[in-house]
Amino acid sequence: MYRGSNRHGGNRSFSRFGGGGFRGGRRGGFGGARRIKSFDPSFVINAPKENVQIPEYVITHEFSDFPINETLQRNISEKGYLVPTPIQDQAILPLLEGRDLIGIANTGTGKTAAFLIPLIEKVLKNSEEQVLIIAPTRELAMQIRDEFISFSRGLNIYCALCIGGANIRRQIQELRSYPNFVIGTPGRIQDLIRSRNLNLAYFGSIVLDEADHMVDIGFIADIRYIISLLPKVRQSLFFSATIDGKVREILNNFVQDAVLVSVKTGDTAENVQQDTIKVISGESKIEQLHELLIQKEFEKVLLFGRTKHGVQKLSDELVRRGFKADAIHGNKKQGQRTRILEKFKRSEIQILLATDVASRGLDIPNVSHVINYDLPETYDDYIHRIGRTGRADKKGIALTFVS
């Protein structure tokens, strides 16, 4: 049970989620999104912990075992990567062999490096090779771009980042230099195709990352269109946390004779402690939040709200109270969102408030706590929100306010 001190010097207890979190809303098979707001919180709080023994995965490689370029090896080592994660351990060799691959994995399992390392090696062996990487959100696309830059240092290969909210003329200029890697979001990729600034006919390698989220947020028509323009002979990589009906429809037209790599052990990471905070009658919610945030263990907090207006209003109030806080949401320009996110990554601010624009795929180091100030709309949103903590084998805490 999670305990937080209150202003009167006593202890306040918060009920704990049992094992897998929102058990009442778990889907059967490949069901659709579940709406948390229809749940009975008392059922969630009192759900028994699942007693499931998951065998520990045994890593069979070190990065030095992979047959890749010496400079690429050095870049991997300088990032502090010595032992692959399970998805890297299983995926890199088949990808180096040119196989198609389906990766099913929890968020934060290291899949970006799993596909970037072999694809960079592929380009090094053939300078004419072009790679298209599609991600559902601008922030995730930028994160992939940043990872690419660190892995490709000193190798004379380049990428173009093609996302909405950024200067399209600059992106067109980058495409005219024929970069080996194009990383982007579906809407902007489609814009560039229709304006004849991007021709997919010569892209021999394609990655769809977080495919389930691209379907969830309405990009399925864009993805179908993009796939229709790809060459028939290609290497296709497909990553998703779930494979439901619409995702399977895309998948069936995308890969051929694919290697399946599944390292998903459950909906939530085992090293994320999940607790609830009961909103106390007669006490304001913001005061309860304040009492949490002044505790020293709340070092780096990602707080989620439901609306753009609500997130900004709460951010302004926390700043007024003396907290180092800022917010990212759809009303802020992409440049603002990027700068604020970088400040949070560098721990220049303690609290980042966000709508769900920040909940998918972002790798923010050392987030101590995720706070769901407002309930997420769906169970899947909850899973992706709390996946921002407890990453890379570190412990994390996820707290959810309930009425």
- Are residue 119 and residue 250 in the same domain, yes or no? yes
CATH number at residue 257: 3.40.50.300
Q: Which two tokens stand for residue 364?
A: 């923010």
Q: Is residue 58 part of a domain?
A: no
pLDDT in tens, 244-264: 778 888 888 899 999 999 876
- Are residue 117 and residue 253 in the same domain, yes or no? yes
269, 19 Cβ separation under 8 angstroms: no
pLDDT score of 295 more than 60: yes
Q: Is residue 226 part of a domain?
A: yes
DSSP per position, 279-320: PPTTS-HHHHHHHHHTSTT--SEEEE-SSHHHHHHHHHHHHH
165 half-sphere exposure, CB direction, 13 A CA radius:
18
Which strand ranges, in their side-by-side order, compose the sheet holding 181-184? 159-162, 181-184, 131-134, 205-208, 235-240, 101-104, 259-262
Percentage with pLDDT > 70 across the chain:
81
Predicted local confidence at residue 378, as pLDDT: 75
Q: Which residues pair with 183 in a beta bridge?
A: 133, 161
Rounded to whole angstroms, the Cα distance separating 174 from 215 reads: 28
- Are residue 292 and residue 386 in the same domain, yes or no? yes
209, 134 Cβ separation under 8 angstroms: yes
Q: Is residue 348 part of a domain?
A: yes
Q: Is residue 257 part of a domain?
A: yes
pLDDT score of 170 more than 90: yes
The pTM of the full predicted model, rounded to 2 decimals, is: 0.66
- Strand extents, DSSP E, 188-291: 205-208, 235-240, 259-262, 272-278
Mean pLDDT of 97-111: 86
- Are residue 39 and residue 90 in the same domain, yes or no? no
Q: Domain limits at 351?
A: 2-53+267-402
Out of 242, 262, 282, a domain closes at 262
Rounded to whole angstroms, the Cα distance separating 109 from 93 reads: 17
- Are residue 374 and residue 325 in the same domain, yes or no? yes
Q: Between these two residues, 49 and 149, which has the higher pLDDT value?
A: 149
292, 298 Cβ separation under 8 angstroms: yes
How far, in Å, are 11, 137, 164, 165, 170 from residue 220 at the CA level?
49, 14, 17, 20, 27
- Are residue 147 and residue 95 in the same domain, yes or no? yes
Predicted local confidence at residue 16, as pLDDT: 32
**Predicted confidence band at 243 (pLDDT cuts at 50, 70, 90)?**
confident
- Are residue 204 and residue 337 in the same domain, yes or no? no
Q: Which two tokens stand for residue 250?
A: 């895309």
Residue 47 φ/ψ region, left for φ over 0, alpha for ψ in the -120 to 50 degree band, beta for the rest: beta
Q: How far does Cα 194 stand from its chain's mean position?
A: 28
- Are residue 86 and residue 187 in the same domain, yes or no? yes
Predicted local confidence at residue 109, as pLDDT: 80
- Are residue 244 and residue 324 in the same domain, yes or no? no
Predicted local confidence at residue 356, as pLDDT: 82
Q: Between these two residues, 35 and 138, which has the higher pLDDT value?
A: 138
- Are residue 47 and residue 67 in the same domain, yes or no? no
- Are residue 298 and residue 183 in the same domain, yes or no? no
Tally of domains in the chain: 2
Q: Between these two residues, 388 and 41, which has the higher pLDDT value?
A: 388
- Are residue 274 and residue 214 in the same domain, yes or no? no
**Predicted confidence band at 282 (pLDDT cuts at 50, 70, 90)?**
low
pLDDT in tens, 41-90: 333 333 443 443 445 677 888 898 999 999 999 999 999 888 898 999 99
Q: Is residue 21 part of a domain?
A: yes
Mean pLDDT of 91-114: 90
Specify the range with the lowest mean pLDDT, choosing from 126-140, 176-190, 373-387. Answer: 373-387
Out of 228, 262, 296, a domain closes at 262
What b-and-e string marks burial along 81-109, b requiring 16 or more CB atoms within 10 Å of the CB? beebbbbbbbbbbbbbeebbbbbbbbbbb
SS3 call for 51 = coil
pLDDT in tens, 343-356: 998 999 999 999 88
pLDDT score of 220 more than 50: yes
Average pLDDT, the chain: 82
